């Protein structure tokens, strides 16, 4: 079953964002290069996107699926507009879309 498993937040200063969430909530954030960090609890994790050219305008819910291509076809058929075609990242692949109300979401398939 597809379910939200990740929320990505834009973070203009990745070091400050990591420090805030660590201090405020005790989160351990794993770095993936100089502009990205995330929790890795295996539940609903939080990612911090410090590359604002790559970041969504607002928090980005990410939905986990078993078949990325089937999910892509389904969201297009349901009326979504693809804003970022399928691309790879450390740990999997994903795409991003706008729902009919303008909300941006992502769908990912883990490696």
Q: What is the mean pLDDT of residues 71-90?
A: 95
**pLDDT > 70: what percent of the chain?**
100
Instruction: Name residues whose C-beta falls within 8 Å of residue 108's C-beta, 6 or more positions apart in sequence.
Output: 5, 6, 62, 63, 64, 65, 68, 92, 93, 94
Summarize pLDDT for 21-47 with one digit per residue, the tens. 999 888 999 999 999 999 999 889 999
CATH number for 3-110: choose from 3.40.640.10, 3.10.180.10, 3.50.50.60, 1.10.150.20: 3.10.180.10
pLDDT interval class at 3 (50, 70, 90): confident
């Amino acid at each position: 079953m597809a379910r939200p498993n990740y929320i990505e937040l834009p973070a203009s200063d990745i070091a400050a964002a990591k420090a805030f969430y660590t201090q405020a909530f005790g989160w351990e954030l794993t770095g993936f290069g100089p502009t990205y960090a995330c929790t890795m609890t295996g539940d609903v994790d939080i990612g911090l996107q410090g590359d604002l050219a790559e970041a969504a305008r607002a928090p980005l819910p990410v939905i986990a699926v078993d078949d990325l291509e089937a999910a892509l076809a389904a969201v297009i058929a349901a009326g979504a507009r693809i804003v970022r075609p399928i691309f790879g990242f450390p740990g999997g692949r994903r795409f991003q879309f706008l729902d009919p109300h303008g909300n941006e979401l992502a769908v990912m398939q883990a490696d």
